[in-house]
Amino acid sequence: MSHYQYHVFFCTNQRDNGEPCCEQCNATEIRNYAKARIKQLGLSGQGKVRINSAGCLDRCELGPVLVIYPQAVWYQYLDRSDIDEIIESHLMNGQLVERLLIDN
């Protein structure tokens, strides 16, 4: 059994050369929002949900992106409302958010 039901990694990479990256799309701010929202909903902790930052996930052209393990489900998102939908649909109810999926 996994330590967490869901382990969510947000790419928060910042490229120094000016090439597109997730951090240009406020990835850290959105990740911080997701972490706070998960805590607020009582979904954080062992056996539940863990939100983490990740370095480059090498999906820059699709960014900003996150991946949820153990299923390895990849999402792209634009704003807090997309994150709210991922939390409610996927993390709370086990339903994929089809419109935000990468590698559908």
CATH number for the domain spanning 45: value is 3.40.30.10
98 in any annotated domain: yes
Please write the tens of the pLDDT for every residue from 78-89.
999 999 999 999
- Measured between its terminal Cα atoms, the distance across the chain in Å is 26
Q: How far apart are CA 20 and CA 25, in angstroms?
A: 9
86 in any annotated domain: yes
Domain count, the chain: 1
Tokens, residue 69: 């393990």
50 in any annotated domain: yes
Which residues lie closer than 8 Å to 97 by C-beta, 6 or more apart? Answer: 75, 82, 85, 86, 89, 90
pTM over 0.85: yes
The sheet carrying 73-76 orders its strands as 49-54, 6-11, 65-69, 73-76, 101-102
Please write the tens of the pLDDT for every residue from 22-62.
999 999 999 999 999 999 999 999 999 999 999 999 998 88
Q: Which domain holds residue 70?
A: 6-102
1 in any annotated domain: no
24 in any annotated domain: yes
